[in-house]
Structure 1
Amino acid sequence: MLQRMSGVFIGAFFGTVFVVANAHAPLNPALGLALRVLAVLTFAGLLTLALRAGRLGQPADGAGSPRADWFQGRFAFVVGAEAVLLIGGNLALRAAGAPAPTAVAWTALIVGLHFVALSAVWKRRSIAVPGLALTALGATGLVMAATSAVAWVPFVSGVLSGVALLGGCAYAITHTYRSAVNPRPPAAQ
């Protein structure tokens, strides 16, 4: 698969992890289980659709030849900053005595900001959409952590962030599949 599609798979995988790891109490156990199963099935469906698109002979990102530097340069800087902020921020929150659920809220916030930064690096505005959603859900969870609603932070910042990631990946993979099924003729020069 091309480099961009590997990024979509990573996003879908972590969206699934967000849901599976956070669909727990105070949710009803049956609802939590249903959300977990749905997330895993969604990931499997997206993987199947992407592989099918690849077999149809089209580029996996639907946009011609891949960029050789997709995961280098500024990307490496963004991911490095993300790692430092994730680890440093979670250590600082723990040292400050923040409730445990703030970790998932902080993670959603930083992962969201990472997608917003990558949308500028890769010049793909569509990446900013799930990024802004995760940023908002992470910030909401951080605010909730200071209230009596702290038990709901994993749902808001974890499960809903996972749904946003899976939705963004579903959009990208569906677009790729449609491009493979109905390729557009090259523009006249």
Structure 2
Amino acid sequence: MSGVFIGAFFGTVFVVANAHDPLNPAIGIALRVLAVLTFAGLLTLALLAGRRGRPAPDDAEAPQADWFRGKFAFVVGAEAVLLIGGNLALRAAGAPEQTAVAWIALIVGLHFVALMAVWKRRSIAVPGATLTALGATGLGMAATSAVAWVPFVSGVLSGVALLGGCAYAITHTYRSTARP
């Protein structure tokens, strides 16, 4: 569940950090509160699943002991280099500051797509493709008069996608621990 916790945490961070202008302040606060409550709910559900028992042995989404070694380390290392290098390049090129969140969403999405192949888990394809698309959309928006909306599109919506993907994974795990 550690990958799910990481995804849910960063989904919450995406929403909390980006739910601001041009959004109405009340909507921004509501989105932040909802993200934090969602994270707390997912954490609670995961803990309940842990108390109920292990996933069924035939569960295709059951955790694997070596998920965080080898190719995973390469993907995360490449992600870090691309995040830092890309943001430095965007700043050097004079791109609007809003492109930072779009770049982050794009690279995090691509990292999920790569991990889908490494872990052979199709369940992370949806959040991966969604974040990739939202990041690319935000980068495109940065060159238009809609640049102020990039944090909402690439940040808030990416956070919602991560939280949704984690909700799916935790719910699946919780249901797989149900006693017959």
Same fold at TM > 0.5: yes
**CA RMSD, aligned part only?**
1.6
Taking a change above 3 Å as real, the CA distance of residues 57 and 114 of structure 1, as seen in their structure-2 partners, is same
- How far the C-alpha of 1:146 sits from its partner, in A, is 0.3
Between stretches 23-32 and 59-68, larger displacement belongs to 59-68
SS state of the match for residue 147, structure 1?
Answer: coil
1:119 equivalent in structure 2: 116
- In the alignment, does 2:159 pair up with 1:162? yes
- How far the C-alpha of 1:60 sits from its partner, in A, is 9.8
Taking a change above 3 Å as real, the CA distance of residues 93 and 154 of structure 1, as seen in their structure-2 partners, is same
2:24 equivalent in structure 1: 28
Which of these residues, 168, 173, 177, is aligned with residue 174 of structure 2? 177
Letter in 1 for 2:113: V
Letter in 2 for 1:122: W
Number of aligned residues: 179
**Distance across 2 between alignment mates of 1:64 and 1:57:** 15
TM-score normalised over the length of structure 2: 0.95
Which of these residues, 71, 76, 91, is aligned with residue 68 of structure 2? 71
2:37 equivalent in structure 1: 41
**Distance across 2 between alignment mates of 1:65 and 1:21:** 32
Letter in 2 for 1:100: E
Taking a change above 3 Å as real, the CA distance of residues 168 and 64 of structure 1, as seen in their structure-2 partners, is closer
Query: 2:61 touches 2:121 (CA, 8 Å); kept in 1?
Result: no
- How far the C-alpha of 1:67 sits from its partner, in A, is 2.5
**Distance across 1 between alignment mates of 2:71 and 2:34:** 35
**Distance across 1 between alignment mates of 2:88 and 2:131:** 21
1:82 equivalent in structure 2: 79
- Unaligned 5+ segments in structure 2 are none
**Distance across 2 between alignment mates of 1:65 and 1:172:** 10
Query: 1:60 touches 1:176 (CA, 8 Å); kept in 2?
Result: no
- How far the C-alpha of 1:65 sits from its partner, in A, is 6.9
Letter in 2 for 1:123: K
- How far the C-alpha of 1:22 sits from its partner, in A, is 0.1
TM-score normalised over the length of structure 1: 0.91
Taking only the aligned residue pairs, the percentage that are identical comes to 87
